[in-house]
Amino acid sequence: MTDKAWKVLGFAITCGCAVWIGTADVQAAKSEPSLKTGSPVAGISVYMDQYQESMKREGSKETAGLTQEKMRYGTFNLIFQNLGVSVAEDSLNIRKEPKNDAEIVGKLKNHAGSTVLSEENGWYKIKSGQVTGYVYGKYLATGQEARAIAYYDMRLLLRVNTETLRVRSKPNTDSEVLGRVHEGETYPFISHCEGWAKILYKGQTAYAYVPENATVAYTIPEAEKSSDLRSQVVNYAVGFVGNPYQWGGTNPNTGADCSGFIQYVMEHAAGVHLDRTSRQQAEEGETIPASSMEPGDLLFYASGRQIDHVAMYIGKGKIVHAANRRSGIKISSWNYRKPVTIRRVIP
């Protein structure tokens, strides 16, 4: 079937489902919804399987020597085990606990997808991308309704299957690193050649080397992490102020150098895995100007031409860093030295 035919089929299915679009303000809801998973749309699984097989056949002609095991293809059936789709007008809050005043850990934009793990007192526990938490059931379509929405809205996306994956300006390992993408994130897929996927990344074309690291699928986007993550990272980092500096150290509880401190904080507070040295870290993430700095961004300093120090911006013109043996981990002004580059590694 052609893409047009698939979309027509999806439209016909959608028209047969009562898709109610609610408000994203879950705290305003007063009545408990009737929660049920429902059953798949009749025949849709067969169609999706056929579509997946056609994707494999098309892919085998274009992969330029890649094996099918390395370049995976599929549909949202392969990504979401028990599909739930946001039907909030804007976005649906994902909370840490099943209650209205719980911490927000992420958001599902309208018609973004998730795997439903369980149901509890009007709340669904879901997993979507890197986020696991609870959403109010009134604003999550499941079963037949969810599958119809997903089928009609699906797009060809690259879904990352590994913890982190570098995105580059050109399809080779010598080109500039534009940023990192993370497990469960999805990006519009354009084409691929010899293991490199061409994608749309933050408004520009970019390349990621994907064998065994990603799936190309007709699917829908997943959850976005909460922007509160930056505050959590900063609060975690400043908690080590006063602890000792140790050359080669990677644990700020007992002693760390500048890059060891940043590596530890990012991994434990944000789930972002960075390389070990400041010079390596200065190639990760995306470059930003000083005027765009946000808490959690990284500043790199140099002696001569070589980068030799990294610090984290914490807001209000301040940084936290493992300075030296005399000062230990401390807070300073961001421009106590002129930074060579400023990088953003938190999405």
**pLDDT band (50, 70, 90) for residue 195:** confident
DSSP label of 265: H
User: Where do the structural domains in the chain lie, given as residue ranges?
Assistant: 155-225, 229-344
What tens digit of pLDDT does each residue of 153-167 get? 999 998 888 777 888
DSSP string, 139-159: GEEEHHHHHHHHHHH-EEEEE
DSSP label of 245: B
pTM, rounded to two decimals = 0.53
pLDDT of 221: 92
pLDDT of 49: 52
pLDDT of 216: 85
Higher pLDDT, 295 or 19: 295
Residue 262 parent element (H or E): helix 258-265
DSSP label of 28: G
Burial, 307: exposed, middle or buried (Cβ in 10 Å; 0-12, 13-18, 19+)?
Answer: buried
Burial, 5: exposed, middle or buried (Cβ in 10 Å; 0-12, 13-18, 19+)?
Answer: exposed
Cα–Cα distances in Å, from 272 out to 37, 164, 178, 284, 317?
34, 8, 15, 11, 23
d(CA 330, CA 244): 9
The fourth-level CATH superfamily of domain 229-344 is endopeptidase domain like (from Nostoc punctiforme) (3.90.1720.10)
Cα–Cα distances in Å, from 314 out to 102, 288, 294, 326?
25, 15, 8, 22
Q: Is the pLDDT of residue 137 over 60?
A: yes
pLDDT of 33: 35
Section 262-277 average pLDDT: 91
Residue 54 parent element (H or E): helix 44-62
CB-CB contact of 26 with 139 (8 Å): yes
If you count DSSP H runs as helices and E runs as strands, how many of each does the chain have, helices first?
6, 24
CB-CB contact of 113 with 83 (8 Å): yes
Residue 193's DSSP bridge partners are 196
Q: Provide the CATH number for the domain formed by 155-225 in this structure.
A: 2.30.30.40
